[in-house]
Structure 1
Amino acid sequence: MLIIPAERGIDWRRAPVVTAAMIALCCIVFFGWQWSDSARMQRAAEYYYENQLLQLELPIFLSHLSQTRRKDLSTELESIDPQEDAVTLIYTILSDPSFTHVLQKTDEEFWGDDVFADWRRKRRQVNELLDQISSFKLGLIPQASRPITYLTYQFMHGDTMHLIGNMVILALTGIAVEAAIGSFNFLLCYLLCGIVGGLSYTLFNWSSYLPLVGASGSISGVMGMYAAIYGMRKIRFFYSLIFYFGYFTAPGLVILPIWVAWELYNAFLGSTSGVAYIAHAGGLLMGGLGMLAARRYLVQVEENYLDQAPDEDLEYRTELDDFLKQLAAFNFESAKRKLTTLETKYPSKATIVEQRYFLEKLAPESKSFHQFAHELLATPTRDEVFMYMLRDVYRDYTLLNKAHPLEESTLLKLMLSFCQIEAWDTVQEMVKQAQTRRIQDPMMVKILRLLSRNVEQNGDSHLSNQLNEMAGQLENSLKTAPE
């Protein structure tokens, strides 16, 4: 279940500098530092394997799993042949910081005099390599007692989707909250909510060595502040439940306990998916209750500002939501009628045109589907949003369709449009198709030279030269062709 505010755009009189800075910083940390974690782990695993530590530590690790009530994992690993799949075993061992901690307590009495010194030297080197991995170095590990990590963990993420999801929600909520309370207050509150989220996680996982990373606690706090700032004013929320989604209107403060209840339910009764729901709940409570207590001191805008949500697209969004609900309920005839109304009122909206394509696609063998697809792809436009939509439709349509090729003029127009939005992979595929069809047109010369320039910039000089030669040959053939 997902429920997020969808009320305000950017008010440039109150530029969201801190929100933008937090997003930028998280992206820099992830792509500039964390991106190399897989290489760091690989180096540690290779050293571990080359020094034959697996044979020494695997029996101890299996015993450790049983003692920590992870019998299922122990049974699964016991069925793996160390000779055939050593990689799985090594990565599992090295990814378990609690086991690393247990090993640090062992001594020569445990290992034996003939083994201990050599094992300790090699294991110490492995641990030094593991310590360079971002989540182990600056992630929040409850048992490690490192105060600085209550700040640093907020700017780190587990993977790309974790980062994107958090940054999208931060952008949607942070802009409005920062505008309402000011950039400096927003920065302090954001960090404080993250710290409280981390403390909540530590409180319920105090014996854990598993590192916590992510801005979710901080962002949950921003969502809590959002609800408290708007209080009982009705605001719009976007919701998603499995495959069903839409908008609804409700008082901001009413949604706060729903958010908290959802996080607590998942923390104590839901599946153990590795998501730190308790950190989310801690951040939400800190943001919501803290803002309720300090609202009169923090909110810097006039009350009427909160009542002035931008409304110019409200009617369009409402009608589009009605159409999507009919589509989700498989009421296709009703959906078609609503879409026809939307097309009449908003003929230039790329979303509406794309929805018509997908609705026609429900009958992929029909003449009307192919006719509409061809007409749509032949539509001239200078709107970048529309061009991106055409790119998506083109790629989808060409996967389905082999018997209804596009006209040459349409193909050329699309290639020029895709050059403008720098969809070079698609352009390269289309050039191959144009070669197969032996398209002879001056526009192909321009397209080939544009593609050649991009390929050269990406370091493929050989392909760039090939494309330039093709452009030159085509240009010469067009000059010598009879009138």
Structure 2
Amino acid sequence: MLILPLHRPLTRATFPIVTALLVVLNVAIFVLFQAGDWSRLEALEAWYGESGLAQAEWPAYLDFEAARDGPLAREALAQVPDADRAGVLFHARLRDLALERALAQAARDGAGAREAGHAGALQRDFDARASRVVTLEYRLRYGEIAPLRWVTAAFLHGGAMHLLGNMFFLLALGLLVEGALGPWRFILLYLAGAVGASLFALAWRWGEAGAALGASGAIAALMGAFALIWGWRPVRFFWWFFVLFDYVKKPAIWLLPVWVGWEALNLVFNPEAGVGFDAHLGGLFSGALLGWAFVRTGQVRHEFLDETDVAPDVATELDAIRARAGRMDLAAAQEALDALDARVPGRLDVSLVGYRLAVLGARRPEAARRALQALDIPARNTAEVALQLALLEEAFPLDRPVPGGAWREGVRRRWLALGCLGECRRLLEAWLADSATAGDWFELVLRARERGEGDLHHALLEEIVARFPASPEAGKAHFMLEHGH
């Protein structure tokens, strides 16, 4: 399955400089430092067999496998031809950190000082040669606490296609996330995502043989952060599942459970795929947590998030529809609006014109439906929140019943996420008064305190005490009022 956000065109104004530098750095490391690793590995394997170290370590290898997997494992390895033993042990040695440590211990516990010293010297020579293989020296190894490798592994790749695939996703996600965060927070997110991915992989794979490398964990952190930073804003993305594919526009937050679910299912049911689903999950969780923190502390660039990305002819078409409505040519106006809505779904301005046409046509049920449709569209900025509040006041005045449904909680949650606290208070006071809980009000209190709006914070505390005197939140509000919190 492939899900890739493609919500912003790459232009001079949106060019992600840090993302481009990360791509250059990854490519440079692969070309300049890793490119010779394959020949160095071949030379190391040849030396391992010719030096006699493989023959010296083979008995200890048999003992190690017998202790771990039982006598049958020892018997199976004993059937390996002499000519193949060095290669078998070489690859097992590189992959299994526990085996490497057992071989070192066996050398120290040799039958005699001379034999132990010779084996130890050969092992030190092997380690010195292996340290010149960049991939071996800086990859993540399961069962080892090595903080430097938690980062360096994210800049290594197992081949050209591995590198190209990761860099493609890095460019696509970096364009959206770097623009929303700025360069320094983006770098912090990328590096923290690499560490989070490594830690999750270590926790999941602890005690197993193996190693990991690649930028996909850090890139997964960009995916998790993207979903939280863009939140309920509709974004365009391409999806591909086997032979099915499409290009759609939905709220960004919807992508997070899909991404997490896909990685988790593969981690549990497809363990032999050779893909770091564990690292992907760790990156997703790390990125989502940091993305949430950036949003809550106001460290996102709303001007980038709210920038219109639809063709400018939409505004022209809306003006033409309004002109037809002004001439009371409502049927033609409605037909044109329906076509526009199908082409650019989820736009508040288009939905508001639909409401206005229903009002002009005296179609009250249709007007109410259009109003609810417009309220269900995630507002992208404070200006759109103001438009929705004005619509709410007009379509559902206080002398009429307010329709129930999930739209109520959706509007409250999205307005709160955008920091529109005054509008949220108005919503709770008037239209949600019959369903709002003390918890809803207290959440507004906490957000006002975070934003440093002292007067609003104090007024909301008093309102909770007056509206919900018997609730636990009223007790908290009393305490905060008395102690000046």
TM-score class normalised by the smaller sequence: 0.5 to 0.7
Distance 1:142 1:90 in 2: 18
Q: Could you give the per-residue CA deviations for residues 68-104 of structure 1, whole angstroms, max 9, x where no partner exists?
A: 4499987775554222675455344444333212112
For 1:313 and 1:118, how far apart are their aligned partners in 2?
79
Shift of 1:26: 0.6
Aligned to 1:6: 6
**Aligned twin of 1:153:** 153
What residue in structure 2 maps to residue 177 of structure 1?
177
Change (3 A) 1:71 1:41: farther
5+ residue gaps, structure 1, are 315-483
Q: Structure 1: which amino acid aligns with 2:13?
A: R
**Contact persistence 2:200–2:282 (CA under 8 A):** yes
In the alignment, the residues of structure 1 paired with residue 119 and residue 313 of structure 2 have an alpha-carbon distance, to the nearest angstrom, of: 67
Please show how residues 80-159 of structure 1 align to structure 2 within 5 Å: 80-83=80-83, 86-107=86-107, 109-113=109-113, 115-159=115-159
Q: Which residue is 1:224 aligned to?
A: 224
1:19 aligns with: 19
- 1:113–1:299: structure 2 CA closer, same or farther, 3 Å change rule? closer
Evaluate the alpha carbon distance shift between residue 133 and residue 163 of structure 1 in structure 2; reply closer, same or farther with a 3 A threshold. Answer: same
Distance change (3 Å), C-alpha of 1:161 and 1:76: farther
The answer on whether the counterparts of 2:221 and 2:288 sit within 8 Å (CA) in structure 1 is yes
The SS at the match of 1:119 is: helix
Q: Are the structure 2 counterparts of residues 92 and 250 from structure 1 closer, same or farther at C-alpha, using a change threshold of 3 Å? A: same
| CA distance, structure 1, for counterparts of residue 313 and residue 146 of structure 2 | 48
User: Residues 217 and 256 (structure 1 numbering): CA distance in 2 closer, same or farther, change over 3 Å?
Assistant: same
Per-residue deviation, 1:116: 2.1
Identify if the C-alpha distance between structure 1 residues 219 and 84 changes in structure 2 by more than 3 Å, giving closer, same or farther: closer
SS at match of 2:211: coil
- Where 2:163 maps in the other structure, the secondary structure is helix
Q: Show the counterpart of 1:446.
A: none
CA offset at residue 65 of structure 1? 3.5
Structure 2 equivalent of residue 210 of structure 1: 210
1:139–1:213 CA contact under 8 A, matched in 2: yes
The one-letter code matched in structure 2 to 1:249 is K
Could you say what secondary structure the match of 2:83 adopts? Answer: coil
- C-alpha offsets along residues 159-182 of structure 1, whole Å, 9 cap, x if unaligned? 222211111101111111111111
Aligned to 2:187, the other structure's residue is in SS state: helix
Give per-residue Cα distances to partners, 1:169-219, cap 9 Å, x unaligned.
011111111111111211111111111111212222334563322111110
Match of 2:147, SS state, is: coil
Q: Which residues in structure 2 correspond to 1:339-354 (within 5 Å)?
A: none
List per-residue Cα deviations over 1:317-349 (Å, max 9, x = no partner): xxxxxxxxxxxxxxxxxxxxxxxxxxxxxxxxx
Equivalent residue, structure 2, for 1:265? 265
Deviations 1:426-450 (A, max 9, x none): xxxxxxxxxxxxxxxxxxxxxxxxx
Partner of 1:294: 294
| Counterpart position of 1:55 | 55
How much has 1:134 moved relative to structure 2? Answer: 2.0
Change (3 A) 1:123 1:85: closer
* Cα distance, 1:42–1:304 mapped onto 2, change above 3 Å: closer
TM-score (ref. length: structure 2): 0.58
Q: Is the 8 A contact 1:29 1:156 kept in 2?
A: yes
Equivalent position SS for 2:82 = coil
Would you say the 8 A contact 1:232–1:252 is kept in 2?
A: yes
Which one-letter code corresponds to 1:289 in the other structure? L
Q: One-letter code of the match for 1:283?
A: G
Distance 2:240 2:71 in 1: 36
Cα shift readout 1:225-268 (whole Å, capped 9, x = no counterpart): 11122212222222232344333332210110111122222223
The letter for the 2-side match of 1:202 is: L
SS of equivalent to 2:212: coil
CA–CA separation in structure 1 for the residues paired with 2:71 and 2:17: 49
Offset, 1:310: 5.1
Query: Whole-Å Cα distance in 2 between the matches of residues 228 and 143 of structure 1?
Result: 32
SS of 1:232's equivalent?
coil
Alignment length (residue pairs): 314
Q: Any stretches of 5+ residues in structure 2 without a counterpart? A: 315-485
Distance verdict in 2 for CA 1:206–1:296, change over 3 Å: same
Counterpart Cα distance in 2 of 1:68 and 1:313: 69
How much does 1:112 deviate?
A: 4.1
**Take 1:313 and 1:134, find their aligned partners in 2: how far apart are those partners?**
54
Distance (whole Å) between structure 2 residues aligned to residue 277 and residue 291 of structure 1: 21
Q: Is the 8 A contact 1:230 1:306 kept in 2?
A: no
Bigger Rg, structure 1 or 2: 2
Query: Structure 1 312/111 Cα, relative in aligned 2: closer, same or farther at 3 Å?
Result: farther
SS in 2 for 1:83: helix
1:4 and 1:241 map into 2 onto residues whose CA distance is 12
1:193 and 2:207 correspond: no
SS of equivalent to 1:238 = strand
For the structure 1 residues 84 and 134, does the alpha-carbon distance in structure 2 shift closer, same or farther, using more than 3 Å as the test? closer
Pair 1:138–1:71, CA change in 2 (3 A): farther
Counterpart contact for 2:95–2:209, Cα < 8 Å: no
- The answer (yes or no) to whether the contact 1:10–1:176 under 8 Å persists in 2 is no
Instruction: Check the 8 A contact 1:5/1:237 in 2, yes or no.
Output: yes
Aligned position for 1:162: 162
- The verdict on how the C-alpha distance between 1:172 and 1:85 changes in structure 2, with shifts beyond 3 A counting, is same
* Structure 2 SS opposite 1:148: helix
Contact 1:181 1:298 in 2 (8 A): no
